[in-house]
Amino acid sequence: MRQRELAGLMKNLGKLTRTQRQSVVAELSAGERKAASVEVIEGRAGEVPDCPHCASRQVVKNGSADGWQRFKCRNCTKTFNTLTGTPLARLRMKGKWLDQAAALRDGLSLNQTAARLNVSQQTAFRWRHRFLAMPKGLKAHALTGIAEADETFFLESHKGYRSASRAPRKRGCKAAKRGTSKEQIPVLVCRDRAGATADFILARDDAEHITAALQPILSKDAILCTDGSRTLAASAKEIGVTHRPVNLAAGIRVIAGVYHVQNVNAYDSRLKGWMRRFKGVATRYLDSYLGWYRALDRAGSGLLIPALLLAQAAGNGLVTT
């Protein structure tokens, strides 16, 4: 808009009724929220991103559309924007994206999220998993120094399935059998003393699968602390790292003042407590919720700002610890 047109608009604002002024304010506020979402994502993507189609760096700016900067690849001649190829591509109502990120920060249920954003429950569900598609892959790639490993279990859930291989049960209830069984999904949680965290949903709770998960992330000079599990001990031996088992059953909590599993056990406890609000998580989405909690835990006692969650959802500003 030209300066003369802006001056005319400003002059006519005084003629608006109260209802009309409220409508103008609401429209301006919505525009600001849209611009804020675009700024968060484009601001972290770099001046000119690589082509998502052919990975070429021969990219130039090519106008804009719907508030997004467009780019054109001189190698494959395709056009794209910052979100092309990401889970947020073609997602509508970008003025509510920061509010969605805030709902994730606050750990809201689907009903609470739908009410806060004024969207349907189906939209809240779809947005939740679009926003978690990238963070669920954010985990530590290497554990150094003293690392701790422990297994925790989540009740298998077919919530949301049209049909299941067993009779339905009340959400959030306990397993039919005590201890571990086929009803329980094993999750291996690993942390080092720097706070780097990785977790793995295991197909089976045995040494073979645990070794396959631990070997790529444990450095050779790492010292692995476990609760004395024979399975974890066998994996440590197979990997070839120093193993310090802590016999919790015998009342031993700490060895030599430094070797313990209190760090990983505390994480498991916090994770389980946070999960209870959802009254059972569908097993097919368990990795998304594990990634969601890792993002919250990385923030620690600090404030995990919605802008960071939004950037992570778009695949920008990613961290791995």
Q: What is the DSSP string of 117-161?
A: HT--HHHHHHHHHHHHTTGGG---S-B-SEEEEEEEEEE---TT-
Domains and CATH numbers, the chain: 16-47+61-133 (no CATH), 139-300 (3.30.420.10)
pLDDT of residue 17: 86
Residue 264 is given by DSSP the state: H
Cα–Cα dist 308/317, whole Å: 7
Q: Is the pLDDT of residue 319 over 60?
A: no
65-108 pLDDT, tens digit per residue, is 988 999 999 999 999 999 999 999 999 999 999 999 999 999 99
Model confidence band, residue 321 (pLDDT cutoffs 50, 70, 90)? very low
pLDDT of residue 16: 82
Q: In the structure encoding, which two tokens stand for residue 187, read together? A: 């999750």
List the one residue out of 186, 203, 103 whose CA is nearest residue 149: 186
pLDDT of residue 179: 56
Residue 248 is given by DSSP the state: G
Looking at every residue in the chain, the average pLDDT score rounds to 88
Q: Is the pLDDT of residue 46 over 60?
A: no
129-168 pLDDT, tens digit per residue, is 999 999 999 999 999 999 999 999 999 888 766 666 666 6
Residues 6+ apart with CB under 8 A from 56: 50, 73, 74, 75, 76
Q: In the structure encoding, which two tokens stand for residue 54, read together? A: 């052919």
pLDDT of residue 114: 97
Max avg pLDDT among 19-28, 42-51, 186-195: 186-195
Report angle CA 61, 62, 65 to the nearest 5 degrees.
115
Tell me the mean pLDDT in the region 38-48: 76
Residue 85 CB neighbours (<10 A) = 12
Model confidence band, residue 320 (pLDDT cutoffs 50, 70, 90)? very low
pLDDT of residue 164: 61
Instruction: Report yes or no: 310 and 98 within 8 Å, Cβ to Cβ.
Output: yes
Cα–Cα dist 59/239, whole Å: 44
Q: In the structure encoding, which two tokens stand for residue 11, read together? A: 């002059």
Residues 6+ apart with CB under 8 A from 181: 175
List the one residue out of 180, 216, 198, 164 whose CA is nearest residue 320: 198
pLDDT of residue 72: 96
Percentage of the chain exceeding pLDDT 70? 89
223-275 pLDDT, tens digit per residue, is 999 998 999 999 999 999 999 999 888 888 999 999 999 999 999 999 999 99
Maximum Cα–Cα distance across the chain: 82
Q: Is the pLDDT of residue 175 over 80?
A: no
Model confidence band, residue 31 (pLDDT cutoffs 50, 70, 90)? confident
Rg (Cα) of the chain, in Å, rounded?
A: 24
Model confidence band, residue 58 (pLDDT cutoffs 50, 70, 90)? very high
Residue 205 CA, chain-centre distance (Å), reads 24
